[in-house]
Amino acid sequence: MKDFIISHPMGELRIYHEPTKAFLSTQTGKISLCDGNFYITNRSLSEYRSWERFPKDFIFDCNKQYVESGGGLSQLMSILTNNFNLKNRPIAIDPFNISLIIELLELGLENGLSFKKTYRNEIRVYLERANLLLDDTKVKFYNTTLSEAVDNNPELVHCADFLIDVAGASMYSMETYNNYRYKILK
């Protein structure tokens, strides 16, 4: 069986039929999203724990301000908004082309009628996560890099109790990343 690919001049949605070829780890291990500049991460909360993004005994506190940098379509924002009565909307910072990714996911659903049900369901989950980022009543989304977000939005300086970085740090030297990390944390 061949890989399913939706190409766009600016990006790509690919469903791999050989799990060893998958660039990103997902529930099925087979879906990859790219907006032309970045591969979009889509981690589950269990992967955050296994990657030590949280201590093993970490407990979410509804009174704290959470900021996620480079989370892409990861599960954290949906967990925070759907399972906790947060005092503050969580903040997501990511420069990926969200409208393109939504378009690719919608095309994937429209054109991938022969997908296994698990692929269709997973694409729907990613669409829900993308649309959640655009719902200003639930998430404050800064569609830019961490450095640009902090430099151009003074409300982000010293706003966060927790900064969870999934892939954003890979864009910077450790010194530069730590500088922005200290700027955003309380």
* pLDDT value for 93: 95
Whether the per-residue pLDDT at 136 is higher than 70: the answer is yes
> Tokens representing 66?
């959470």
CA pair distance 121, 123, nearest whole angstrom: 5
* pLDDT value for 24: 37
Average pLDDT over residues 122-128: 90
* pLDDT value for 19: 44
CA pair distance 180, 94, nearest whole angstrom: 14
C-alpha distance from residue 154 to each of 28, 72, 158, 185 (Å)? 40, 23, 9, 13
* pLDDT value for 79: 92
Provide φ and ψ at 180, rounded to 5°. -70, -35
Task: Report DSSP state, residue 41.
Answer: P
Assess contact for 113 and 53: CB atoms under 8 A: no
* pLDDT value for 26: 38
- Give the H or E element holding residue 33: strand 31-34
CA angle 103/165/30 to nearest 5° reads 45
* pLDDT value for 54: 64
Whether the per-residue pLDDT at 112 is higher than 60: the answer is yes
* pLDDT value for 87: 96
